Structures are given as structure tokens and as C-alpha cells.
Structure 1
Amino acid sequence: MSDVIERRSSGIPGDTTGFHQAVHSPGLAALDEIAATYSLENIHQLAEAGRQVIWGGRSWESPLVFACDTIPVAHDQLWATDSRRSEATAEDHFQVPGEFCSMIKAMIGRLHADRDRHIKKVLHFGSGCEPVNAVFELARRDGYDIHTIETVSAFTPEEKRPHAVAFLVRELHRVAVWLTGRPADEDRVAEEIRRKNSVIRKVKHLVELRAVHPFYVSASRTRQIFMGSMHGYGDLDAFGAALDLLIGELEALEPLPLPPSYIPLVIAGGVGNQRILDAIEESHGVIVGWVMNGTYEYREDVPPLESLAHYVLDAQGRGDLGEAVGASVSYRRTLVEEAVRRTGARGIVSASLIGCPYASMMQQLERDHFKQIGVPLIAIDTDVHREPPTEEQITRIKAFMEMLA
């Protein structure tokens, strides 16, 4: 393994501990290769060549979408490039206020700019945030074919009644008819569920191994892996093979104690800007717990469409997937508290998008809750653009880390 990893000094005078850091990782290289195929332009080329491609459908519903021979495109690709131009289109053409959520503005501006291209179908869940619903209604005017999965909610186990599951099963059959002209092929959906569960188990195992070797896979690369657990970058088999390589590398490492000055942290939400994650690690922060979307397995003891329905309703009740499935704004703090207790983290980084009403309320509830129980928390507000974070953001992160030290 000498060509793959090296042992680095912690840089602390008198400290003889160290950590493993990847120098050349076949697993990370394979991950880069599969992620590169998931660029927006590559996906547009597939659509132009005749493949069925849709916006959305890359989350909990992806087993059904893949079973319908359809490529789901994550909404984050709408702001992957030219996000400032898309935002300007939203403000100038659609008169969206400048202070509004950058994600919403980038979505509506990009859909408008791409209205004459080949990806014309959009799938979304009806209980998503209301501004997203408005985006898709405006996209309908631009000629997009919008399909809404009608919503049903169950915030407690008692509310997950059979009629709610049956309602969602009917809605999922409607999705299959919309995509293929016929009801869902349940055998294929079941196979896709098994494939996705396999990937989810690998991601969970990898994250457990990373907790022992947190610098071998950086925080920004770990976020990339979490994103892949949702959609597999369009190829679950290739993504799973990359995970296998990376797991093998981590399992071959000898355990090393972390330097005592390194501070374990839990991250809640998606910190989209890599430089912020880098600043945390440069300030001796070690991210040992993540509260991210899509890390729970699907049931395999029920028919496949019922399994998808159970997944949605269970996600609502535990706060997973957030507004994407209509989860209560107050539920994520429970998952964050569990992660802090499980990992022994000494602080929390809570992330949200500037101007997002859902995330802003959730973040304030987390501030109040963790202040009461004595766990330090820093709230980071970001936008969807690729520019480096502001000096103020970096300074706040470093000050938070110094306080914890």
C-alpha cells in the first residue's frame, strides 16, 4: 500500500501520532471517473441520442425511474454551471426578488434557458417546498412535461396507515405509465431496490471506516459519495465498484489515534462549497458524523412499490430527506442529536441555503435546541454558486474551531 497511502505527522510539536492520507487511491480515481460521466452536458448528449432523461427522480424514487429505462438528473445539475447567469434570468425575466433563495433562482433560470433542449420531463413530489412547486409551474409554461406525485403524509408510526401506502403505490404506477405507457414492472423495480440497497450498505460501511481514518477520504469527497448514494451517478454498478475499491483501501489501513488537538464534529445538511469543508479540516476539525439524505435502506420484505411508499412515509417520520418528502422542519435536530451522541462530537456545523424559508426555520430550531443542551453549533448559510466562500464565512469557521479548542 506504499503507493496508495502515507502516514502524515499531525504537525503538532511533540506529538508522535499521525494519520493516513491518500496519495494515490484507485477507489477515489474510480469515483472521479464515474462522477465525470454525470455532467449536465454528457446527460444532454444522451438525451439527444434518444435516451429518456428526466429532471428529478434521483432520490427515493430512483429504483422505479431506473426500472423504467430512464436516467434521472439531480436538480443540483441545474446550477452546476452558469448559475449566476441563471440567477440573473430569474431576477430579470421572472422578477424573482434578489434576496430570494439562490437555488430557486438558478433552477427557474436554467430551465428557461434550456427550454428548447431535449430534457423536457420533470418529476417531483407534491409536498416539496412551495417555491419549487412554483418553479415547475412556470416551467410548464415553457413547454416542460411536469408530473407530480401527489402527496400523503405520516409524521408518526400511527399515521402510516395502509390506505396511505396504497395511495402512494397508485401514484407510483402513474409515474411508470407516464414514463413508459404501462404499469410498473415490479420485478425490475425489486431488482433496482436490491441494487440500491447494496450501494447504501457500502456507503454506510465506508463512512464507518472513514470515522477511523477521517483524513484518508476528505470531507468534500465524502459529500460526493453521499450524493452518489442517491443516484449512483447514473450507473449504480460502476459506483458500487468504486466503493468496493475504496473500502478495500480503508480496511487495509492500520488504526492510528487522532492527534488530541483534532476536534470531532457533526455536519447537518449539505455544505455544497468545498472550500468551507476544507477550512474546517484545516482548522483541525474532524467530521465524524453526517446527517445527510438517503442513507437508509429500503424494505425488501414487501412488494417493491410498497417498499418505496414505506420509504417516503418513514423518511417523513424521522426527518430524513427534508422538504423533498415533506418532512417536518423540526425533525432533523433529532437525527443530529443522535449523531452527536453516537460519535462523541464536540460541535455541530448546521448548513442551509440563504433565503430558503424551510432551512432557515430548521436552523433556528437547531440553534435553540442545542444551546439548551449545551452542544456548540455554528450555522453556515451558503448559496449554490461555485465561488469561494467569503472571508467572513472562513473567519467564522476558524473562530468556532478556536472556541472548541
Structure 2
Amino acid sequence: MHAVMEKAASAAITGEPRNQVEYIQQSREAHHYSPGIQKLYDLALSYFPDAEKGNQEGTPAVWSTGLMEAPLLYACDTIPMAVYDLGRLGSAVEAAELSENIFDMPKETCSMVSALIGEWYMRRNNSVKKVVALSTVCEPLNMGYEMIKEFGFDIHRVEQVIRPVHGGDERLEQMIKFLASELEDVAFFLTGKPVDEEKMRAEIKRLNRLMAKFREILKLRLKNPLYIKSLPTLFLLMGSAHYFGKPAEYEALLDQLIEELKTADFVPSPMGKIIPLTWVGARGLEFGVYKAVDDLGGALLSWFTPNPYDRVWNEDIPPLESMARFILDYFVTGSPVNQIKYIENMIEESGSKGMLFYTYIGCPYGGMHVELFRDHFHKKGVPSSGLEGSWQVGAPSGQLITRVRAFIEMLS
């Protein structure tokens, strides 16, 4: 058993969990009735150790964003290791302290960037040294990528364009062509040759199939929201972008959860009623927020995050073009104006009574998007609450929990 799993198994949960592994263990116990959830956490906890071991044994792995690049990377026979999952199972407090002490990074630096640089520093002697970096995801992180070059990491940047609100079809087609060529360069970086288009077509079909199953799980949750509570739903969502390095096992897990939900007994809310909610923004690391939502009678039934699941990739065009069009049409780094319609659809389909906007403290990019979203939905009469969290492990702040409690009580 991997060390992190041993830690989870032996964690003594007394009162509020102290770290992410203890939250997972607590969630395991809360979902004792679900073999599927137990398998989900097994996949999550073994994700990085198995990918690193496989890389040492000849199955290539690469650090990537873990957002929508799975078809391309798997077509290159490469396991994606999601950068943003580092915080969920890493040691972000220690990592951030390393960044401050070793690199003299000021405490005001984005906690995500500080933590990730520290995590990579602690992994500087591991075997996975290649990184595929999407240039538009986060400018401070772009600077972080420059810093980790000195640890021996090999950084390949994808110059990622953003679809404009205006500009016409001709400009859009130019952008698609450019982005497709950038994605082709990823294949050369990983394999030294062009991508195998037939393999990538098959991977796109697999992604579409898995997303259809994920959407079916979300649909079944509408009738029994707390059978799969918020934290495991978050992990299912994260896994939809990289399959935890084990596509076949992830798909079997989705099938198992679908069958469980079809026949499961109804799990009541501890508060006697369930308030349907939509989560918008970052996928928080403070797992206690998700637990608080469940405990207070909320249910996160739709998620507008950097892991899009509500669209289908085009299987009838060249695969790199399909990927480029998907990114430009939806990807979360695009203009918020282009994204609002997707959030509106989620709210309608899930019957949400309110929205939780989550951003990381000090993140100007996330903060600007949230303000634009909040203004739009305020005018439409949709209640919302903004939550600012940090890229740290452990229990969330009392202030954050108080905001969650007040918002759900207002909707009750």
C-alpha cells in the first residue's frame, strides 16, 4: 500500500480533520455503503505514486494542467500528471514555507504558485521532469515555470489564444489553425513525431463516452444528491480530465456508480431538507467547505470549473482541430461573456437555488471573472455568495464556514 494510503488508513479522526488525507478518510467512512466511492479514493490516492513509478518503468508521464488535454497526451502514450492535483494530496503548507524560505518569495505571493513551486522542489529528484504549460492559465504560474527550470524541469509552453467576443469567423479560423499547430508541437515535445491522429480520434471518442457517463451520474444525483456527497463529486470531476492515469479503471468506476445510484436508498440531509446549489470558479483545496455544504443541507449539483463536462468534442473533424475548437469555444480562460450561457444552463438543469463563487485569495484573474458573473446573476435575481480560500491543506477558516452557513440558511 502506498505511503499516502497508509497515512489515510491510520489517521485518527478526532473532531475536525487536520489535513486533506484525513478529510478523505472521513469521507470514506461517511460513504461506507458505496463500493464505488471506496474505489474512487483508491484511484485518487494512488494517482501520483503509480504515475511516477510507471514513468520510471517506461510508461512516460508529464506534468500538465489536467484540464482538457487528456486526448492528446494519451494519444502520445503519456500519462498526464495534473499540476493542480498536487495541492489536493501534497503538503501545501510545507511547500509554501519552502518557497518563502528558499526562494525568498514574499508571503503576499499567490499561495497556489508558492505551494506548487515548493512541491516541485521537493520532487526535483523524481523521474517526471517534463511539463506542458498552457500559457493563458495563470501569469504568476508562468513565472513559476521559469523558476523550476533550475531544478532540471523541461518546460514546453503552449501559446494558447483566447476566443474574442467579436472579430468574425475569419479571425476565429486563424486562431483555430494557430492553436492546432501549437498542440501538434506538444506531440513532438513528448514523442519526437506528429500525433497519431487515429489514436487521438479514439481518445476523443473515449472522452465523449466518459463525459456522457459523468453527466448521467450528475443527473441521477438530482434525485439522491447526498448518496455521492460533494467531496467525492469533486474527485470524480477532477478525474474526468486525466482518469487518474488509469482510463479503463476510471470508466469502470463511473459504470459502477451509475448502477449504484439507480438502486440506492435515499440518503437524507442531516438538516431535513436539501438546497440545490451550483459551484462556480476554482476547485477549492479546503475540503471542509464541501463537508460544511453537505452538513448544512446544501447539495452541489452542478459545477462550472476549469473541468468542463457539459459539451461534446467534435468527432467528425481532424482531432487537433477538434481540441482547438473545444478550447476556444468553452475553456475557462476565455472571456466570461462567452461562459455565462453555460452557467445559466447548469442552473436551469440542476434546479439550483443559489451559487457559490470560489476564488483563491489574491487571484486577480479569478476575482475579475467572479465579479462579472456575480453582477450578471444578481441582475437576474439568482442569490450567490463569494468564498475566498487559500491553496493550503487543513481545515478552512471559520470565516469561510460562517459564510457558507449564512448563505445556506438564507436559502432554507
Q: Under TM normalisation by the shorter chain, which class is it?
A: 0.7 to 0.9
Q: Given the two structures, how large is their TM-score scaled by the length of structure 1?
A: 0.86
Unpaired stretches in structure 1, ≥5 consecutive residues: 1-20
Distance 1:333 1:153, change over 3 A: closer
Q: What per-residue deviation string (whole Å, max 9, x for no partner) do you get for residues 80-102 of structure 1?
A: 32211211122223332212221
Match of 1:362 among 369, 389, 397: 369
1:227 corresponds in structure 2 to 238
Give, in angstroms, the shift of residue 360 of structure 1: 1.4
2:278 pairs with 1:266: yes
Aligned-partner Cα distance in 1 for 2:266–2:289: 27
CA distance in 2, matches of 1:29, 1:82: 23
* Secondary structure class of the residue paired with 1:37: helix
Matching residue of 2:350: 343
1:403 is matched with: 410
| Contact 2:131 2:156 survives alignment (8 Å) | yes
**Cα gap change, 1:257 to 1:390, in 2 (>3 Å):** closer
Q: Deviations over 1:364-405 (max 9, x none)?
A: 223333333322211111112221112222122112222222
Aligned partner of residue 222 in structure 2, secondary structure: helix
Do the aligned partners of 1:169 and 1:305 also contact (CA within 8 Å) in 2? yes
The one-letter code matched in structure 1 to 2:375 is D
Give the TM-score normalised by structure 2: 0.85
2:392 maps to 385
- Structure 1 position 198 matched with structure 2 position 209: yes
Could you tell me which residue of structure 1 aligns to residue 86 of structure 2? 78
Quick one: structure 1 residues 329 and 99, their matched pair in 2 at CA, closer, same or farther if it must change by over 3 Å?
farther
Question: Which amino acid is 2:280 matched to?
Answer: A
2:184 counterpart residue number: 173
SS of the counterpart of 1:65? helix
1:106 Cα deviation (Å)? Answer: 0.8
Match of 2:67 among 59, 65, 76: 59
1:107 offset after TM fit, Å?
A: 1.2
**What residue is the counterpart of 1:279 in the other structure?**
292
Segment drifting more, 195-204 vs 135-144 = 135-144
In structure 1, the residue corresponding to 2:52 is in which secondary structure? helix
Map of 1:4-403 to 2, 5 A cutoff?
Answer: 23-38=32-47, 40-56=48-64, 58-79=66-87, 80-156=89-165, 158-159=168-169, 161-253=172-264, 261-269=273-281, 270-292=283-305, 293-295=307-309, 296-315=311-330, 320=331, 322-323=332-333, 327-403=334-410
Where 1:33 maps in the other structure, the secondary structure is helix
Q: What is the CA–CA distance in structure 1 between the aligned matches of 2:258 and 2:224, rounded to whole Å?
A: 11
Question: Which is further off, 301-310 or 328-337?
Answer: 328-337
Native 8 Å contact 1:100 1:356 kept in 2: no
Distance in 2, Cα, partners of 1:266 & 1:85: 32
Instruction: Report the Cα distance in structure 1 between the residues aligned to 2:291 and 2:373, rounded to whole angstroms.
Output: 23
- Distance in structure 2 (CA, Å) of the matches to 1:199 and 1:404: 33
CA–CA separation in structure 1 for the residues paired with 2:359 and 2:239: 20
3-state SS of paired residue (1:247) = helix
Q: Residue type of the partner of 1:297?
A: V
Distance 1:339 1:77, change over 3 A: closer
When residues 84 and 330 of structure 1 are mapped into structure 2, their CA distance, relative to the original with a 3 A threshold, is farther
User: Which secondary structure state, in structure 2, belongs to the residue aligned with residue 103 of structure 1?
Assistant: helix
Unaligned runs of 5+ in 2: 1-29
Count of aligned pairs: 376
Corresponding letter in the other structure for 2:143: A
> What is the CA-CA distance between 1:230 and the residue it aligns to?
0.6
